[in-house]
Structure 1
Amino acid sequence: MTATDTRPLVQAFLDPATETWSYVIFDRVGGTAAVIDAVLDFDQASGRTSTEGAEKIVAFVREQELTVDWVLETHAHADHLSAAPFVREQLGGKIAIGEHIRQVQGIFRDVFNLEKEFLVDGSQFDHLFHDGDTFNIGDLEGRVIYVPGHTPADMAWLIGDALFVGDTLFLPDVGSARCDFPGGDARVLYQSVQKLLSLPEGTRMFMCHDYPPNGSREHEYETTVGAQKRSNIHLHDGISEDEFVKMRRERDATLGMPRLILPSIQVNIRAGQMPPAEDNGTVYLKVPINKL
Protein backbone atom coordinates (compact mmCIF):
# COMPACT_ATOMS: atom_id res chain seq x y z
CA MET A 1 0.00 0.00 0.00
CA THR A 2 1.61 3.22 -1.18
CA ALA A 3 0.36 6.78 -1.51
CA THR A 4 0.79 8.86 -4.61
CA ASP A 5 2.25 12.37 -4.53
CA THR A 6 -1.27 13.77 -4.59
CA ARG A 7 -3.22 11.17 -2.58
CA PRO A 8 -1.66 10.27 0.78
CA LEU A 9 -2.88 7.46 2.99
CA VAL A 10 -5.03 8.48 5.96
CA GLN A 11 -6.18 6.49 8.99
CA ALA A 12 -8.78 8.11 11.26
CA PHE A 13 -9.39 7.51 14.98
CA LEU A 14 -12.52 8.66 16.83
CA ASP A 15 -12.52 9.69 20.48
CA PRO A 16 -16.20 9.09 21.33
CA ALA A 17 -16.17 11.09 24.57
CA THR A 18 -15.26 14.34 22.82
CA GLU A 19 -16.38 13.41 19.27
CA THR A 20 -12.86 14.25 18.08
CA TRP A 21 -11.14 12.75 15.05
CA SER A 22 -7.39 12.18 15.15
CA TYR A 23 -5.37 11.08 12.14
CA VAL A 24 -2.27 9.30 10.97
CA ILE A 25 -1.27 10.45 7.49
CA PHE A 26 1.52 8.53 5.76
CA ASP A 27 3.18 7.90 2.43
CA ARG A 28 3.39 4.09 2.51
CA VAL A 29 3.60 1.08 4.78
CA GLY A 30 7.06 1.17 6.27
CA GLY A 31 7.32 4.83 5.35
CA THR A 32 6.89 8.18 7.06
CA ALA A 33 3.91 9.63 8.92
CA ALA A 34 2.45 12.57 10.82
CA VAL A 35 -0.04 12.34 13.68
CA ILE A 36 -2.70 15.06 13.78
CA ASP A 37 -4.76 16.18 16.81
CA ALA A 38 -4.17 13.25 19.16
CA VAL A 39 -6.46 13.11 22.23
CA LEU A 40 -5.55 12.45 25.86
CA ASP A 41 -8.40 10.79 27.77
CA PHE A 42 -9.49 12.92 30.73
CA ASP A 43 -12.13 12.19 33.34
CA GLN A 44 -13.13 15.56 34.72
CA ALA A 45 -14.97 14.17 37.73
CA SER A 46 -11.89 12.40 39.07
CA GLY A 47 -9.17 14.49 37.44
CA ARG A 48 -7.59 11.33 36.04
CA THR A 49 -5.92 11.04 32.66
CA SER A 50 -5.39 8.00 30.45
CA THR A 51 -3.60 7.30 27.18
CA GLU A 52 -5.99 4.55 26.10
CA GLY A 53 -7.13 6.34 22.94
CA ALA A 54 -3.68 7.56 21.97
CA GLU A 55 -2.31 4.05 22.42
CA LYS A 56 -4.46 2.95 19.47
CA ILE A 57 -2.66 5.50 17.31
CA VAL A 58 0.70 4.29 18.58
CA ALA A 59 -0.24 0.67 17.89
CA PHE A 60 -1.31 1.48 14.31
CA VAL A 61 1.92 3.37 13.60
CA ARG A 62 3.97 0.45 14.86
CA GLU A 63 1.92 -2.12 12.97
CA GLN A 64 2.50 -0.17 9.74
CA GLU A 65 6.20 0.23 10.61
CA LEU A 66 6.00 4.00 10.19
CA THR A 67 8.48 6.68 11.23
CA VAL A 68 6.75 9.75 12.67
CA ASP A 69 8.24 13.08 11.61
CA TRP A 70 5.51 15.41 12.86
CA VAL A 71 2.94 15.55 15.67
CA LEU A 72 0.65 18.32 14.41
CA GLU A 73 -1.97 20.40 16.22
CA THR A 74 -4.47 22.38 14.16
CA HIS A 75 -5.00 24.77 17.11
CA ALA A 76 -5.14 24.92 20.90
CA HIS A 77 -8.27 22.81 21.35
CA ALA A 78 -10.95 23.81 23.84
CA ASP A 79 -12.76 20.47 23.96
CA HIS A 80 -10.06 17.89 24.64
CA LEU A 81 -6.59 17.61 26.09
CA SER A 82 -3.78 16.94 23.63
CA ALA A 83 -1.86 13.66 23.75
CA ALA A 84 0.99 15.11 21.67
CA PRO A 85 3.67 14.61 24.36
CA PHE A 86 2.71 10.95 24.79
CA VAL A 87 2.80 10.39 21.01
CA ARG A 88 6.21 12.06 20.76
CA GLU A 89 7.53 10.02 23.67
CA GLN A 90 6.36 6.76 22.08
CA LEU A 91 7.03 7.48 18.41
CA GLY A 92 9.27 10.53 18.07
CA GLY A 93 8.54 13.48 15.81
CA LYS A 94 8.28 17.21 16.41
CA ILE A 95 5.22 18.77 18.04
CA ALA A 96 4.14 21.66 15.81
CA ILE A 97 1.42 24.31 15.70
CA GLY A 98 0.91 27.70 14.05
CA GLU A 99 2.97 30.69 15.13
CA HIS A 100 -0.10 32.56 16.35
CA ILE A 101 -0.30 30.22 19.34
CA ARG A 102 1.68 33.00 21.04
CA GLN A 103 -1.40 35.25 20.88
CA VAL A 104 -3.58 32.54 22.41
CA GLN A 105 -0.99 31.94 25.13
CA GLY A 106 -1.04 35.64 25.96
CA ILE A 107 -4.82 35.68 26.26
CA PHE A 108 -5.04 32.65 28.53
CA ARG A 109 -1.97 33.41 30.62
CA ASP A 110 -4.02 36.31 31.93
CA VAL A 111 -7.29 34.37 32.19
CA PHE A 112 -5.63 31.68 34.34
CA ASN A 113 -3.03 33.94 36.00
CA LEU A 114 -0.36 31.41 35.08
CA GLU A 115 3.00 31.14 36.79
CA LYS A 116 5.52 33.85 35.91
CA GLU A 117 7.77 31.22 34.29
CA PHE A 118 5.14 30.49 31.63
CA LEU A 119 6.41 32.02 28.39
CA VAL A 120 4.12 33.32 25.63
CA ASP A 121 6.65 32.72 22.86
CA GLY A 122 5.50 29.29 21.67
CA SER A 123 8.70 27.70 22.96
CA GLN A 124 6.71 24.85 24.53
CA PHE A 125 6.32 23.48 20.98
CA ASP A 126 9.13 21.98 18.92
CA HIS A 127 8.19 23.99 15.82
CA LEU A 128 5.96 26.94 14.92
CA PHE A 129 4.64 27.09 11.37
CA HIS A 130 3.95 30.26 9.39
CA ASP A 131 1.26 30.72 6.75
CA GLY A 132 2.49 29.32 3.44
CA ASP A 133 5.26 27.19 4.93
CA THR A 134 5.89 23.80 3.36
CA PHE A 135 7.08 20.63 5.06
CA ASN A 136 7.62 17.00 4.17
CA ILE A 137 6.23 13.70 5.42
CA GLY A 138 8.51 11.28 3.63
CA ASP A 139 7.64 11.59 -0.06
CA LEU A 140 4.63 13.80 0.69
CA GLU A 141 4.72 17.61 0.72
CA GLY A 142 2.52 19.57 3.06
CA ARG A 143 1.48 23.22 2.94
CA VAL A 144 0.37 25.37 5.86
CA ILE A 145 -2.77 27.52 5.50
CA TYR A 146 -3.54 30.09 8.21
CA VAL A 147 -7.28 30.00 8.96
CA PRO A 148 -8.10 32.16 12.01
CA GLY A 149 -11.62 32.94 13.18
CA HIS A 150 -12.48 30.07 15.50
CA THR A 151 -9.34 31.07 17.41
CA PRO A 152 -6.55 33.45 16.37
CA ALA A 153 -4.17 30.53 15.84
CA ASP A 154 -5.92 27.94 13.66
CA MET A 155 -3.94 26.26 10.91
CA ALA A 156 -5.10 23.88 8.19
CA TRP A 157 -2.71 21.28 6.84
CA LEU A 158 -2.88 20.54 3.08
CA ILE A 159 -0.96 17.37 2.31
CA GLY A 160 -1.42 16.23 -1.27
CA ASP A 161 -5.19 16.20 -1.79
CA ALA A 162 -5.87 15.79 1.95
CA LEU A 163 -6.89 18.92 3.85
CA PHE A 164 -7.09 18.81 7.64
CA VAL A 165 -9.24 21.76 8.68
CA GLY A 166 -9.33 21.53 12.48
CA ASP A 167 -12.42 23.27 13.86
CA THR A 168 -12.77 25.71 10.97
CA LEU A 169 -15.45 23.65 9.22
CA PHE A 170 -17.57 20.64 10.09
CA LEU A 171 -19.36 18.24 7.77
CA PRO A 172 -21.92 19.91 5.49
CA ASP A 173 -24.91 18.98 7.65
CA VAL A 174 -23.23 20.44 10.78
CA GLY A 175 -21.81 23.67 9.41
CA SER A 176 -19.05 25.80 10.90
CA ALA A 177 -17.09 26.44 14.07
CA ARG A 178 -18.14 28.84 16.80
CA CYS A 179 -16.32 32.16 16.99
CA ASP A 180 -17.07 33.43 20.48
CA PHE A 181 -13.95 32.24 22.28
CA PRO A 182 -11.43 34.95 23.24
CA GLY A 183 -9.79 36.15 20.04
CA GLY A 184 -12.42 34.55 17.78
CA ASP A 185 -14.10 36.49 14.97
CA ALA A 186 -16.93 35.34 12.69
CA ARG A 187 -15.98 37.71 9.89
CA VAL A 188 -12.41 36.43 9.95
CA LEU A 189 -13.65 32.83 9.93
CA TYR A 190 -15.74 33.50 6.81
CA GLN A 191 -12.66 34.85 5.03
CA SER A 192 -10.59 31.88 6.16
CA VAL A 193 -13.16 29.41 4.87
CA GLN A 194 -13.15 31.08 1.48
CA LYS A 195 -9.45 30.26 1.20
CA LEU A 196 -10.22 26.61 1.82
CA LEU A 197 -13.18 26.53 -0.55
CA SER A 198 -11.03 27.99 -3.33
CA LEU A 199 -9.06 24.74 -3.46
CA PRO A 200 -9.94 22.15 -6.16
CA GLU A 201 -13.39 20.67 -5.55
CA GLY A 202 -12.01 17.15 -5.34
CA THR A 203 -9.76 18.02 -2.41
CA ARG A 204 -10.52 15.64 0.44
CA MET A 205 -11.42 17.49 3.64
CA PHE A 206 -10.90 15.84 7.03
CA MET A 207 -12.79 17.05 10.09
CA CYS A 208 -11.47 17.46 13.63
CA HIS A 209 -14.96 16.84 15.05
CA ASP A 210 -18.31 15.50 14.00
CA TYR A 211 -21.59 16.12 15.80
CA PRO A 212 -24.27 14.10 13.95
CA PRO A 213 -27.47 16.19 14.03
CA ASN A 214 -29.92 14.64 16.49
CA GLY A 215 -28.05 11.35 16.23
CA SER A 216 -29.27 11.02 12.65
CA ARG A 217 -26.22 9.12 11.41
CA GLU A 218 -22.95 7.57 12.50
CA HIS A 219 -19.88 9.73 13.07
CA GLU A 220 -18.10 10.58 9.83
CA TYR A 221 -14.86 12.40 9.15
CA GLU A 222 -14.38 13.05 5.43
CA THR A 223 -15.99 15.23 2.79
CA THR A 224 -14.74 17.30 -0.16
CA VAL A 225 -14.35 20.96 -0.97
CA GLY A 226 -17.03 20.55 -3.64
CA ALA A 227 -19.51 19.02 -1.20
CA GLN A 228 -18.94 21.86 1.24
CA LYS A 229 -19.52 24.48 -1.44
CA ARG A 230 -22.75 22.82 -2.52
CA SER A 231 -24.21 21.76 0.81
CA ASN A 232 -22.64 23.25 3.93
CA ILE A 233 -25.59 24.57 5.92
CA HIS A 234 -23.67 27.68 7.03
CA LEU A 235 -21.25 28.37 4.19
CA HIS A 236 -22.51 26.96 0.90
CA ASP A 237 -22.12 28.98 -2.30
CA GLY A 238 -24.26 32.10 -2.20
CA ILE A 239 -23.97 32.82 1.53
CA SER A 240 -22.60 36.35 1.93
CA GLU A 241 -20.13 37.39 4.59
CA ASP A 242 -22.72 39.56 6.35
CA GLU A 243 -25.29 36.75 6.32
CA PHE A 244 -22.80 34.35 7.82
CA VAL A 245 -21.63 36.78 10.50
CA LYS A 246 -25.21 37.50 11.58
CA MET A 247 -26.05 33.79 11.76
CA ARG A 248 -22.83 32.87 13.57
CA ARG A 249 -23.13 35.60 16.20
CA GLU A 250 -26.77 34.77 16.92
CA ARG A 251 -26.01 31.05 17.13
CA ASP A 252 -22.93 31.48 19.30
CA ALA A 253 -24.96 33.50 21.80
CA THR A 254 -27.06 30.37 22.49
CA LEU A 255 -24.15 27.95 23.00
CA GLY A 256 -22.80 26.84 26.35
CA MET A 257 -19.08 26.53 26.96
CA PRO A 258 -17.45 23.21 25.96
CA ARG A 259 -17.38 20.78 28.86
CA LEU A 260 -13.58 20.55 28.97
CA ILE A 261 -12.59 24.08 27.95
CA LEU A 262 -10.97 25.01 31.27
CA PRO A 263 -8.65 22.01 31.63
CA SER A 264 -8.05 21.74 27.88
CA ILE A 265 -6.79 25.25 27.28
CA GLN A 266 -4.43 25.19 30.27
CA VAL A 267 -2.80 22.04 28.92
CA ASN A 268 -2.94 22.67 25.19
CA ILE A 269 -1.22 26.07 25.25
CA ARG A 270 1.67 24.14 26.84
CA ALA A 271 1.88 21.72 23.86
CA GLY A 272 -0.02 19.11 25.87
CA GLN A 273 2.13 19.30 28.99
CA MET A 274 0.56 19.67 32.41
CA PRO A 275 1.24 22.74 34.57
CA PRO A 276 4.18 22.39 36.95
CA ALA A 277 3.47 20.41 40.11
CA GLU A 278 3.05 22.36 43.32
CA ASP A 279 5.22 21.90 46.41
CA ASN A 280 3.31 18.76 47.42
CA GLY A 281 4.16 17.10 44.10
CA THR A 282 0.60 17.30 42.74
CA VAL A 283 -0.47 18.99 39.50
CA TYR A 284 -3.53 21.24 39.68
CA LEU A 285 -5.71 22.79 36.97
CA LYS A 286 -7.42 26.10 37.75
CA VAL A 287 -11.07 27.08 37.48
CA PRO A 288 -11.37 30.88 37.08
CA ILE A 289 -14.63 32.05 38.60
CA ASN A 290 -16.89 34.37 36.55
CA LYS A 291 -14.08 34.96 34.04
CA LEU A 292 -15.23 33.36 30.78
Structure 2
Amino acid sequence: MPRRVPVPVLAAVAATVLAWASAFVGIRAVGADLSPGALALGRLLVGTAVLGLLLLAVGRPWVAPTRREWGLLAVCGIGWFGVYNVALNAAEQHLDAGTTAMLVNVGPILIAVLAGLWLGEGFPRWLVTGLAVAFAGVLLIGLATRGAEADVLGVVLCLVAAVTYAAGVVAQKPVLRRLPPLQVTATACAVGALCCLPWAGSLVAELGAASPGSVAGLVYLGAVPTALAFSTWAYALARTDAGRLGVTTYLVPPLVVLMGWLLLDEVPPPLAVAGGAVCLAGVALSRRRAAVRRPDPEVQRAAASA
Protein backbone atom coordinates (compact mmCIF):
# COMPACT_ATOMS: atom_id res chain seq x y z
CA MET A 1 0.00 0.00 0.00
CA PRO A 2 1.30 3.52 -0.80
CA ARG A 3 2.32 5.50 2.27
CA ARG A 4 -0.06 8.42 2.78
CA VAL A 5 1.44 11.88 3.16
CA PRO A 6 0.38 13.48 6.47
CA VAL A 7 -1.98 16.45 6.22
CA PRO A 8 0.49 18.89 7.88
CA VAL A 9 3.08 18.03 5.22
CA LEU A 10 0.55 18.61 2.42
CA ALA A 11 -0.42 21.94 4.01
CA ALA A 12 3.26 22.94 4.21
CA VAL A 13 3.77 22.10 0.53
CA ALA A 14 0.66 24.08 -0.48
CA ALA A 15 1.77 27.13 1.51
CA THR A 16 5.24 26.95 -0.03
CA VAL A 17 4.01 26.71 -3.60
CA LEU A 18 1.51 29.56 -3.22
CA ALA A 19 4.08 31.84 -1.56
CA TRP A 20 6.79 31.13 -4.12
CA ALA A 21 4.36 31.72 -6.98
CA SER A 22 3.44 35.12 -5.52
CA ALA A 23 7.15 35.98 -5.33
CA PHE A 24 7.46 36.07 -9.13
CA VAL A 25 4.76 38.74 -9.33
CA GLY A 26 6.19 40.61 -6.35
CA ILE A 27 9.71 40.67 -7.80
CA ARG A 28 8.39 42.09 -11.06
CA ALA A 29 6.65 44.91 -9.18
CA VAL A 30 9.43 45.75 -6.72
CA GLY A 31 12.10 45.40 -9.41
CA ALA A 32 11.01 48.73 -10.86
CA ASP A 33 12.56 50.52 -7.84
CA LEU A 34 15.20 48.09 -6.53
CA SER A 35 18.15 46.55 -8.38
CA PRO A 36 18.67 42.75 -8.23
CA GLY A 37 21.38 42.76 -5.56
CA ALA A 38 19.69 45.33 -3.33
CA LEU A 39 16.36 43.51 -3.61
CA ALA A 40 18.01 40.20 -2.66
CA LEU A 41 19.74 41.74 0.38
CA GLY A 42 16.60 43.51 1.60
CA ARG A 43 14.49 40.39 1.18
CA LEU A 44 17.01 38.22 3.05
CA LEU A 45 17.45 40.75 5.88
CA VAL A 46 13.70 40.82 6.45
CA GLY A 47 13.56 37.04 6.20
CA THR A 48 16.40 36.62 8.70
CA ALA A 49 14.71 38.99 11.18
CA VAL A 50 11.36 37.18 10.94
CA LEU A 51 13.01 33.76 11.25
CA GLY A 52 14.98 34.97 14.26
CA LEU A 53 11.75 36.05 15.97
CA LEU A 54 10.18 32.69 15.17
CA LEU A 55 13.18 30.90 16.70
CA LEU A 56 12.78 32.93 19.88
CA ALA A 57 9.03 32.26 19.97
CA VAL A 58 9.45 28.52 19.51
CA GLY A 59 12.08 28.41 22.24
CA ARG A 60 13.82 25.26 21.05
CA PRO A 61 17.46 24.98 22.15
CA TRP A 62 20.13 25.58 19.52
CA VAL A 63 21.56 22.36 18.09
CA ALA A 64 25.25 22.87 17.30
CA PRO A 65 25.96 21.83 13.66
CA THR A 66 28.92 19.58 12.94
CA ARG A 67 31.71 20.71 10.59
CA ARG A 68 30.10 18.77 7.73
CA GLU A 69 26.69 20.31 8.48
CA TRP A 70 28.18 23.81 8.48
CA GLY A 71 29.59 23.08 5.04
CA LEU A 72 26.20 21.95 3.75
CA LEU A 73 24.52 24.98 5.35
CA ALA A 74 27.04 27.20 3.56
CA VAL A 75 26.22 25.57 0.22
CA CYS A 76 22.49 26.03 0.88
CA GLY A 77 22.84 29.62 2.12
CA ILE A 78 25.25 30.85 -0.55
CA GLY A 79 23.61 28.96 -3.41
CA TRP A 80 19.89 28.84 -2.77
CA PHE A 81 19.47 32.01 -0.70
CA GLY A 82 22.25 34.22 -2.05
CA VAL A 83 23.06 33.45 -5.68
CA TYR A 84 19.55 32.19 -6.46
CA ASN A 85 17.85 35.41 -5.33
CA VAL A 86 20.25 37.70 -7.15
CA ALA A 87 20.03 35.64 -10.35
CA LEU A 88 16.23 35.41 -10.18
CA ASN A 89 15.84 39.15 -9.58
CA ALA A 90 18.16 39.90 -12.48
CA ALA A 91 16.35 37.43 -14.76
CA GLU A 92 13.04 39.19 -14.17
CA GLN A 93 14.64 42.38 -15.46
CA HIS A 94 14.95 40.62 -18.83
CA LEU A 95 12.06 38.13 -18.95
CA ASP A 96 8.38 38.13 -18.05
CA ALA A 97 7.24 36.29 -14.92
CA GLY A 98 5.74 33.32 -16.77
CA THR A 99 8.84 32.61 -18.83
CA THR A 100 11.05 33.04 -15.75
CA ALA A 101 8.94 30.58 -13.75
CA MET A 102 9.08 28.06 -16.59
CA LEU A 103 12.86 28.21 -16.91
CA VAL A 104 13.57 28.14 -13.17
CA ASN A 105 11.37 25.08 -12.86
CA VAL A 106 13.88 22.86 -14.59
CA GLY A 107 15.19 22.80 -10.99
CA PRO A 108 13.08 19.80 -9.87
CA ILE A 109 14.64 17.69 -12.60
CA LEU A 110 18.08 18.60 -11.26
CA ILE A 111 16.89 17.93 -7.70
CA ALA A 112 15.63 14.47 -8.62
CA VAL A 113 18.86 13.63 -10.45
CA LEU A 114 21.11 14.92 -7.66
CA ALA A 115 18.99 13.30 -4.94
CA GLY A 116 19.09 10.01 -6.81
CA LEU A 117 22.83 10.17 -7.23
CA TRP A 118 23.98 11.71 -3.92
CA LEU A 119 21.20 10.90 -1.44
CA GLY A 120 20.44 7.41 -2.67
CA GLU A 121 16.76 8.17 -3.27
CA GLY A 122 16.84 6.32 -6.58
CA PHE A 123 14.70 6.92 -9.66
CA PRO A 124 11.24 5.35 -9.17
CA ARG A 125 9.34 4.78 -12.40
CA TRP A 126 6.44 7.04 -11.46
CA LEU A 127 8.79 9.82 -10.40
CA VAL A 128 10.56 9.77 -13.76
CA THR A 129 7.20 9.63 -15.59
CA GLY A 130 5.82 12.50 -13.53
CA LEU A 131 8.92 14.58 -14.17
CA ALA A 132 8.64 14.09 -17.92
CA VAL A 133 4.91 14.90 -18.02
CA ALA A 134 5.23 17.93 -15.74
CA PHE A 135 8.21 19.28 -17.68
CA ALA A 136 6.15 19.03 -20.87
CA GLY A 137 3.47 21.13 -19.17
CA VAL A 138 6.05 23.71 -18.10
CA LEU A 139 7.26 23.94 -21.69
CA LEU A 140 3.70 24.54 -22.88
CA ILE A 141 3.35 27.40 -20.38
CA GLY A 142 6.66 28.83 -21.54
CA LEU A 143 5.52 28.74 -25.16
CA ALA A 144 2.25 30.42 -24.22
CA THR A 145 3.73 33.21 -22.10
CA ARG A 146 7.06 33.92 -23.74
CA GLY A 147 7.70 37.43 -25.01
CA ALA A 148 9.54 38.64 -28.06
CA GLU A 149 11.99 40.52 -25.84
CA ALA A 150 13.32 37.39 -24.15
CA ASP A 151 17.11 37.50 -24.42
CA VAL A 152 19.94 35.07 -23.88
CA LEU A 153 21.14 36.76 -20.67
CA GLY A 154 17.76 36.32 -19.03
CA VAL A 155 17.67 32.64 -19.98
CA VAL A 156 21.19 32.09 -18.60
CA LEU A 157 20.29 33.84 -15.34
CA CYS A 158 17.23 31.59 -14.96
CA LEU A 159 19.37 28.50 -15.45
CA VAL A 160 21.87 29.76 -12.86
CA ALA A 161 18.97 30.18 -10.44
CA ALA A 162 17.73 26.66 -11.23
CA VAL A 163 21.15 25.07 -10.64
CA THR A 164 21.74 26.86 -7.32
CA TYR A 165 18.18 26.05 -6.22
CA ALA A 166 18.69 22.33 -6.91
CA ALA A 167 22.08 22.27 -5.19
CA GLY A 168 20.62 24.02 -2.14
CA VAL A 169 17.76 21.55 -1.79
CA VAL A 170 20.08 18.54 -2.03
CA ALA A 171 22.55 20.10 0.45
CA GLN A 172 19.72 20.90 2.86
CA LYS A 173 18.24 17.39 2.99
CA PRO A 174 21.04 15.66 5.00
CA VAL A 175 21.20 18.55 7.49
CA LEU A 176 17.49 18.20 8.24
CA ARG A 177 18.02 14.67 9.52
CA ARG A 178 19.43 16.07 12.78
CA LEU A 179 18.88 19.83 12.92
CA PRO A 180 15.45 21.47 13.40
CA PRO A 181 13.98 22.77 10.10
CA LEU A 182 13.45 26.31 11.44
CA GLN A 183 17.05 26.53 12.64
CA VAL A 184 18.31 25.28 9.26
CA THR A 185 16.22 27.83 7.36
CA ALA A 186 17.23 30.74 9.61
CA THR A 187 20.92 29.85 9.40
CA ALA A 188 20.89 29.47 5.61
CA CYS A 189 18.97 32.74 5.23
CA ALA A 190 21.51 34.57 7.41
CA VAL A 191 24.37 33.12 5.36
CA GLY A 192 22.66 34.32 2.18
CA ALA A 193 22.21 37.80 3.64
CA LEU A 194 25.91 37.96 4.53
CA CYS A 195 26.76 37.06 0.91
CA CYS A 196 24.63 39.96 -0.34
CA LEU A 197 26.13 42.60 1.98
CA PRO A 198 28.16 44.16 -0.89
CA TRP A 199 24.82 45.63 -2.06
CA ALA A 200 24.11 47.31 1.30
CA GLY A 201 24.93 50.78 -0.05
CA SER A 202 22.68 50.29 -3.05
CA LEU A 203 19.84 49.09 -0.82
CA VAL A 204 19.99 52.16 1.43
CA ALA A 205 20.12 54.56 -1.52
CA GLU A 206 17.35 52.85 -3.49
CA LEU A 207 15.01 52.47 -0.51
CA GLY A 208 15.22 56.23 0.01
CA ALA A 209 13.80 56.80 -3.46
CA ALA A 210 11.45 53.80 -3.60
CA SER A 211 7.68 54.08 -3.48
CA PRO A 212 5.77 52.91 -0.37
CA GLY A 213 4.36 50.07 -2.45
CA SER A 214 7.82 48.81 -3.32
CA VAL A 215 8.92 49.00 0.33
CA ALA A 216 5.83 47.04 1.37
CA GLY A 217 6.52 44.55 -1.42
CA LEU A 218 10.08 44.07 -0.17
CA VAL A 219 8.82 43.36 3.36
CA TYR A 220 6.29 40.87 1.94
CA LEU A 221 8.96 39.08 -0.09
CA GLY A 222 11.12 38.72 3.00
CA ALA A 223 8.36 37.68 5.40
CA VAL A 224 6.21 35.35 3.26
CA PRO A 225 8.04 33.80 0.26
CA THR A 226 11.31 33.74 2.25
CA ALA A 227 10.70 33.27 6.01
CA LEU A 228 7.38 31.43 5.81
CA ALA A 229 7.81 29.49 2.57
CA PHE A 230 11.38 28.32 3.16
CA SER A 231 10.36 27.17 6.66
CA THR A 232 7.36 25.20 5.39
CA TRP A 233 9.56 23.76 2.63
CA ALA A 234 12.18 22.63 5.16
CA TYR A 235 9.42 21.08 7.30
CA ALA A 236 8.10 19.10 4.32
CA LEU A 237 11.58 18.18 3.08
CA ALA A 238 12.44 16.65 6.45
CA ARG A 239 9.45 14.32 6.03
CA THR A 240 9.56 13.27 2.36
CA ASP A 241 11.97 12.57 -0.51
CA ALA A 242 13.76 15.57 -2.04
CA GLY A 243 13.11 14.43 -5.61
CA ARG A 244 9.42 13.77 -5.02
CA LEU A 245 8.92 17.07 -3.15
CA GLY A 246 10.78 19.01 -5.85
CA VAL A 247 8.22 17.98 -8.46
CA THR A 248 5.49 19.85 -6.57
CA THR A 249 7.13 23.15 -7.53
CA TYR A 250 5.92 22.50 -11.09
CA LEU A 251 2.67 23.95 -9.77
CA VAL A 252 4.36 27.37 -9.53
CA PRO A 253 4.22 28.37 -13.26
CA PRO A 254 0.46 27.86 -13.68
CA LEU A 255 -0.11 29.74 -10.43
CA VAL A 256 2.10 32.59 -11.68
CA VAL A 257 -0.02 32.76 -14.83
CA LEU A 258 -3.20 32.82 -12.73
CA MET A 259 -1.87 35.51 -10.40
CA GLY A 260 -0.77 37.58 -13.36
CA TRP A 261 -4.30 37.33 -14.72
CA LEU A 262 -5.90 38.36 -11.42
CA LEU A 263 -3.41 41.02 -10.32
CA LEU A 264 -2.10 42.35 -13.63
CA ASP A 265 -5.25 41.83 -15.73
CA GLU A 266 -3.40 39.47 -18.09
CA VAL A 267 -5.67 36.79 -19.55
CA PRO A 268 -3.74 33.50 -19.83
CA PRO A 269 -3.67 32.02 -23.35
CA PRO A 270 -5.42 28.65 -23.85
CA LEU A 271 -2.03 26.98 -24.26
CA ALA A 272 -1.02 28.16 -20.77
CA VAL A 273 -4.19 26.69 -19.30
CA ALA A 274 -3.42 23.40 -21.04
CA GLY A 275 0.13 23.52 -19.72
CA GLY A 276 -1.13 24.03 -16.18
CA ALA A 277 -3.36 20.97 -16.50
CA VAL A 278 -0.42 18.90 -17.76
CA CYS A 279 1.70 20.11 -14.81
CA LEU A 280 -0.97 18.97 -12.38
CA ALA A 281 -1.11 15.58 -14.09
CA GLY A 282 2.66 15.23 -13.81
CA VAL A 283 2.62 16.08 -10.10
CA ALA A 284 -0.15 13.52 -9.54
CA LEU A 285 1.82 10.84 -11.39
CA SER A 286 4.97 11.55 -9.40
CA ARG A 287 3.07 10.92 -6.15
CA ARG A 288 2.25 7.33 -7.15
CA ARG A 289 4.29 4.42 -5.93
CA ALA A 290 4.80 1.14 -7.68
CA ALA A 291 2.46 -1.52 -6.37
CA VAL A 292 4.11 -4.27 -4.40
CA ARG A 293 2.87 -7.71 -5.41
CA ARG A 294 1.91 -9.90 -2.46
CA PRO A 295 3.14 -13.48 -2.62
CA ASP A 296 0.50 -16.07 -3.52
CA PRO A 297 -0.60 -17.81 -0.27
CA GLU A 298 -0.61 -21.17 -2.04
CA VAL A 299 2.97 -20.63 -3.18
CA GLN A 300 3.99 -19.63 0.36
CA ARG A 301 2.42 -22.75 1.84
CA ALA A 302 4.06 -24.95 -0.78
CA ALA A 303 7.44 -23.38 -0.08
CA ALA A 304 7.00 -23.84 3.67
CA SER A 305 6.18 -27.53 3.29
CA ALA A 306 9.05 -28.22 0.91
Task: Identify the structure with the greater strand proportion.
Answer: 1
TM norm structure 2 = 0.27
Q: Which has the larger radius of gyration?
A: 2
Determine which structure has greater relative contact order: mean sequence separation of CA pairs < 8 Å that are 6+ residues apart, divided by chain length: 2
